[in-house]
Chains A and B, each alone.
Chain A
Amino acid sequence: MNIYVLLKQTFDTEEKIIVRDGAIADDGVKYVINPYDEYAVEEALRQRDAHGGTVFVIGSGPERTAEALRTALAMGADEAVLIHDNRIPADEHSVSKVLAAYLTGKPVDLILGGNFSVDSGGGQVAIRLAKLLSLPHAASITKLEVNGGTCTVHRDAEGDTETLEIPLPALFTAQQGLNEPRYPSLPGIMKAKKKPFAQLSLDDIGLMPDDIAARTERVSLSLPPARKAGQLLQGDRKEQAAQLASIIQSARGNAR
């Protein structure tokens, strides 16, 4: 099986966000593989180990994305591709067109991605890509079984579990609970250095900037108003509970 994993690098989820000069400050920030994409990488490795094949990890983003791709190689992926070009806008329409152009004509059996990225959180690129490549898809899966040419997946839909049967080739996005991602091993890290790693530009994949014009643009960036520490309720347990009950009732009475 040829398995492609879509990968984005994001801030670690424990990072605080600082806005400086109208942009999000990134000095000293710890980066990780987008946590949902990490489940996708792990699932790709498990499916390859069960059924044979090759795992390709592809990322479109800034040059630092190479670190995340290297981590995926160290986890056990076979080959990595970074599509980096400053002319690619940060817009889901544009990014999905870039990935589609790269993957068109490739012998794809399975594409895995994250349910959404924990930074911009659009949750669009993978699903758009499925449509652009005319592949069936299921988003937010918690289980994947490949039996020959058909997959059985469990999809999390707001707490309900849908069981779907989908023929390959297909695209799936990972929800938490799909698996427990492994850590890269030391030998894995050493081996990763020798694995194929390609960096491509828009020209390499045969696209012009006009082909991927952004559909949206950012106007401004802000931080939410900081919350202030409130009031600690005093008294014995019963008094505290009674105070809290009346606070709750007035909070609900004032509901929008």
Chain B
Amino acid sequence: MSQSYLVVAEAREGKLRQVSLEALQAASVIAGDGNDVSAALIGSGIGSVAEELARYVPGKLYVIDHTELANYNAEAYSAALSGLIADLHPAGIVFGHTAIGRDLAPLLAAQLGAGQLSDVTAIECADADVLYTRPLYAGKAFEQKRFTGEATQIVTIRPNNVTAIEPAAAPADIIAVSYSPAPSLRSIVRDVVRKAAGKVDLAEAKVVVSGGRGVKSAEGFKPLEELAEALGGAVGASRGACDAGYCDYALQIGQTGKVVTPELYIACGISGAIQHLAGMSQSRVIIAINKDPDAPIFKVADFGIVGDLFEIVPLLTEELKKAQAS
């Protein structure tokens, strides 16, 4: 009998998230041939995202569209999914390892008595077994794990690591799933401040420009922001810069903070403490700019410049803009 797999897709600021296409690819690998891979999309006013997503979903696309689902609420979202899960009985559920996925996946796992593998970076099929690679100590080591027993299998995948799924031959059928607001929601979302609005999400960014203590002040991040903007990337920071109050902890990259795996990581004024390296050394290309030629960051950087970031970064931004204009 064929089994079904469900991807919980996400929109952010009205746009389909790239990690959802990666989750669809992950689910297709896990499901193997002959099994069904469907998706669920939850939110409010998400019709156009659903149409875009439908192009990529091999099975069916279930859309739960309700004004009360405009903002993420753990209880409301898990209630919205519970009915669908009860109907579909999926063998596995795949999420992106995002703010929503990190919250919703363990909630459903506990509800279903399911196993969960978090922050998976690679999936490999070996004979009848599916092996999941995931980081330990933020990527200082990796483990391969597998599910045991018959329980539902829940996976969250790290953005930027699994290739995105190709569009399907024909768009998936979109099935509207009703949602009746539970009268008993205990948590109420009062307000959402979109500090990150319009910015590229750090975990999904293809380019990360990151600053450390060498940036010296909050204003010192300005040239880094300009460089990130020129590259369509996101700004990150080391623990040192966050502890010094130059920027928000939400930007911190490292074993505490976020782990990023962009195509390009540009470390400016970052010495390269072990705890920081854990959060970025799986980036594809690493560039370091630092005054100190002995800074450990140069030991992991593909390209380095020994010098003052305040001289080099603006020059670099200028060069890149020139090249883009020509």
Contacts and interface: CB of A to CB of B under 8 A. Distances in A.
Interface of A: 11, 13-17, 19, 24, 35-36, 91-93, 96, 118-125, 127-132, 136-140, 142, 152, 156-167, 170, 175-177, 213-224, 227, 229-233, 237-238, 240-242, 244-249, 251-252, 255-256
B102 A123 contact: yes
B274 A14 contact: yes
- Top 9 nearest A-B pairs (CB, nearest first) are A215-B115, A159-B196, A131-B110, A241-B315, A245-B319, A128-B110, A230-B302, A13-B275, A157-B99
| Interface bin, chain B | 35 or more
Interface in B281-326: 281-282, 284-287, 293, 298-307, 311-312, 315-316, 318-320, 323
Given A124-B106, A248-B264, A164 B190 contact: yes
A82 to B, nearest CB: 23
Of B102, B109, B110, most buried by chain A (CB within 10 Å of CB) is B110
Of B119, B136, B196, B315, most buried by chain A (CB within 10 Å of CB) is B136
A17 B137 contact: yes
A252 B264 CA distance: 8
B118 interface: yes
Contacts of B251: 159
A91 B115 contact: yes
Contact of A251 (B116, B135, B144, B285): B285
A242 B207 contact: no
A221 B147 contact: no
B189 A222 contact: no
A121 B135 contact: yes
B244 interface: no
A145 to B, nearest CB: 12
A216 B115 contact: yes
B256 A244 contact: no
Contact of B118 (A19, A119, A123, A160): A123
Interface string B237-258: 0000010000011111011110
Contacts of A176: 242, 249, 252, 256-257
Nearest to A226: B300
A251 B264 contact: yes
20 contacts: A13-B274, A93-B114, A96-B110, A123-B102, A139-B102, A156-B249, A161-B192, A162-B72, A162-B191, A166-B188, A216-B115, A220-B143, A221-B142, A224-B139, A224-B281, A227-B299, A233-B303, A237-B307, A248-B320, A252-B231
A251 B263 contact: yes
Contacts of B147: 215-216
Contacts of B285: 247, 251
B202 interface: yes
Nearest to A118: B255
A158 B312 contact: no
A173 B222 CA distance: 32
B138 interface: yes
B123 interface: no
A19 B136 CA distance: 12
A124 B118 contact: yes
B323 A245 contact: yes
A244 B305 contact: yes
Contact of A163 (B105, B190, B257, B273): B190
Nearest to A250: B285
A99 to B, nearest CB: 11
A124 B116 contact: yes
A215 B187 contact: no
